[in-house]
């Protein structure tokens, strides 16, 4: 069985139709270039000499702000080498390449910025994510540590880079990142929550349980606190407590779409069936969750599950296919799809999904077996503190239920345009915090302003 992944983090893919943008994504910085540097002087000398190129930069930047990465690239390429703020054009272009999964291009641009003396937290953060997305773990950790040297207390740095590793299901690498973050932010509820999830994925539920409990203590009566408690009980198979926690959160006015999805799935897994009040409640909360975040895979899969039980086979297949597109590495969606296809008289498609499921299960088993060896030490990481001991066979309680969620609102990438990217990507973003800014000239997008709702809550 597979663990349910209902987390508010995690990382972050190209914007797709249906994503609800809460408001503006970020502030456009007027000039990240230091005007007193030789390079800045050189770049600024061309101001006003190429109005067309400056217009292309402005357009490309605005498109990037709106999440239209592929469309923005053409404009930014036209601006490259022809504008006063060359740093803005190259950084924003690298951001777009990372967002659509063209990591090698992003790495080349960001490496060039470093060579030009543009080493800063933004460049190193994005470079770490690009390396992680490209499967270059060593280089990613080097960039991460350089970024952490600039901003060691930046919680989002660790969350974003950890999330980027999960495009390759790199749970062990993500855990190393989170543990490094906890060295600098030991009281971060979100980092403890994320560590609990990752430990669970690596079959260490005993310590994961302690991490979930720590997160709940650090942030009581908050979305993250309730999610931590619900997740702990979900992994432990205590569905009655999951339902109680989610209902309590709802009664306190917390209509978080993740908690709604957890409640709906827990009710179904606890035995709610068509015709019962509990099943009607499950369908209601799952529909609300889907309406709030159409691109949240957990909600789509949960609603597809409800439709399957209710005999609404076409609707079930529709929602489950959306869930598979959003999160193709989720084993649960394939077992449900296979059942839906079989009941719809489509045995060939059912068999194909079961073949994919078998492969995913095999890969997951290999990852768990390899996890201790993968967790090589990095300066500041705390992995050695818990001994690198892999649980013996049969030692852990099996996790109850299918994996239907996605970590902190993130849904694993679905293809070239949707690779792991925690900075500016819809599948990793719960939403964007509303910010009121003026209209400065086009400049590099400062990802300090790319705040997901879960990461932009008031400190608790």
The pLDDT score that the predictor gives to residue 431 is 23
pLDDT beyond 90 at 443: no
End-to-end CA distance of the chain: 34
pLDDT digit string (tens) for 183-212?
A: 999 999 999 999 999 999 888 999 999 999
CA gyration radius, the chain = 22
What is the pLDDT averaged over residues 259-275? 94
Range with the poorest average pLDDT among 242-246, 272-276, 384-388, 415-419:
415-419
Segments of 295-343 assigned E as strands: none
Decide: 97 and 109 in contact? Cβ < 8 Å: yes
The pLDDT score that the predictor gives to residue 329 is 84
What is the pLDDT averaged over residues 77-92? 92
- Kindly report the average pLDDT of the chain as a whole number: 76
pLDDT beyond 70 at 423: no
The pLDDT-based confidence of 372 (bands split at 50, 70, 90) is low
The pLDDT score that the predictor gives to residue 170 is 87
pLDDT beyond 90 at 143: yes
- Residue whose structure tokens are 């690779």: 419
Across 1-15, 294-308, 369-383, 438-452, which has the greatest mean pLDDT? 294-308
Range with the poorest average pLDDT among 100-109, 159-168, 216-225:
159-168
The pLDDT score that the predictor gives to residue 19 is 20
Residues paired with 432 in a beta bridge: 452
Rounded CA separation 431/454 (Å): 8
Q: What domains does the chain contain, in order, with CATH numbers?
A: 1-26+136-383+395-431 (1.25.40.10), 33-119 (1.25.40)
Decide: 191 and 7 in contact? Cβ < 8 Å: no
pLDDT digit string (tens) for 320-345?
A: 999 999 888 888 899 999 999 999 99
451: left (phi over 0), alpha (psi -120 to 50) or beta: beta
pLDDT digit string (tens) for 17-48?
A: 222 221 222 323 333 333 333 233 334 434 44
Q: Report residue 160: phi and psi, to 5°.
A: -65, -50
The pLDDT score that the predictor gives to residue 365 is 81
What is the pLDDT averaged over residues 132-159? 96
- CB-count exposure of residue 24 (10 Å: 0-12, 13-18, 19+): middle
What is the pLDDT averaged over residues 382-403? 37
What are 349's two structure tokens? 């498609």
The pLDDT score that the predictor gives to residue 114 is 94
What is the pLDDT averaged over residues 44-58? 73
Which residue in 177, 143, 167, 203 sits closest to 407, CA to CA? 167
Longest dimension (CA), the chain: 73
pLDDT digit string (tens) for 287-309?
A: 999 999 998 899 999 999 999 99
Q: Report residue 452: phi and psi, to 5°.
A: -75, 155
């Amino acid at each position: 069985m597979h663990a349910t992944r209902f987390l508010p983090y995690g990382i972050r893919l190209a914007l797709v139709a249906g994503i609800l943008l809460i408001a503006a994504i970020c502030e456009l910085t007027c000039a990240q270039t230091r005007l007193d540097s030789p390079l800045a002087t050189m770049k600024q000398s061309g101001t006003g000499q190429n109005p067309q190129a400056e217009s292309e930069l402005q357009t490309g930047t605005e498109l990037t702000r709106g999440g239209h990465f592929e469309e923005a690239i053409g404009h930014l390429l036209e601006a490259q080498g022809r504008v006063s703020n060359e740093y803005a054009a190259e950084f924003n272009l690298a951001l777009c390449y990372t967002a659509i999964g063209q990591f090698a291009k992003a790495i080349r641009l960001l490496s060039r910025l470093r060579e030009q003396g543009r080493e800063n937290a933004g460049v190193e953060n994005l470079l770490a994510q690009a390396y992680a997305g490209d499967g270059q773990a060593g280089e990613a950790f080097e960039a991460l540590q350089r970024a952490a040297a600039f901003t060691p207390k930046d919680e989002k740095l660790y969350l974003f880079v950890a999330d980027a590793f999960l495009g390759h299901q790199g749970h062990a690498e993500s855990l190393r990142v989170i543990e490094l973050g906890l060295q600098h932010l030991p009281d971060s509820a979100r980092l403890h929550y994320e560590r609990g999830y990752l430990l669970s994925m690596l079959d260490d539920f005993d310590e994961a349980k302690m991490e979930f409990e720590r997160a709940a203590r650090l942030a009581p009566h908050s979305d993250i606190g309730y999610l931590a408690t619900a997740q702990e009980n979900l992994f432990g198979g205590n569905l009655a407590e999951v339902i109680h926690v989610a209902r309590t959160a709802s009664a306190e006015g917390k209509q978080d779409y993740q908690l709604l999805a957890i409640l709906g799935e827990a009710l179904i897994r606890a035995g709610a069936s068509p015709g019962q009040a509990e099943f009607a409640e499950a369908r209601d909360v799952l529909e609300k969750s889907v309406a709030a975040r159409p691109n949240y895979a957990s909600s789509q899969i949960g609603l597809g599950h409800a439709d399957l039980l209710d005999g609404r086979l076409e609707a079930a297949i529709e929602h489950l296919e959306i869930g598979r597109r959003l999160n193709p590495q989720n084993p649960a969606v394939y077992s449900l799809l296979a059942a839906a296809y079989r009941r719809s008289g489509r045995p060939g498609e059912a068999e194909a999904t079961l073949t994919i499921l078998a492969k995913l299960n095999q890969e997951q088993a290999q990852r768990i077996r390899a996890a201790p060896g993968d967790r090589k030490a990095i300066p500041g990481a705390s992995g050695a503190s818990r001994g690198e001991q892999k649980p013996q066979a049969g030692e852990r309680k099996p996790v109850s239920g299918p994996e239907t969620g996605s970590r902190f609102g993130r849904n694993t990438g679905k293809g070239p345009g949707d690779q792991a990217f925690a900075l500016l990507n819809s599948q990793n973003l719960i939403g964007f915090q509303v910010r009121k800014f003026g209209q400065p000239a086009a400049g590099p997008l400062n990802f300090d302003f790319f705040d997901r709702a879960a990461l932009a809550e008031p400190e608790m």
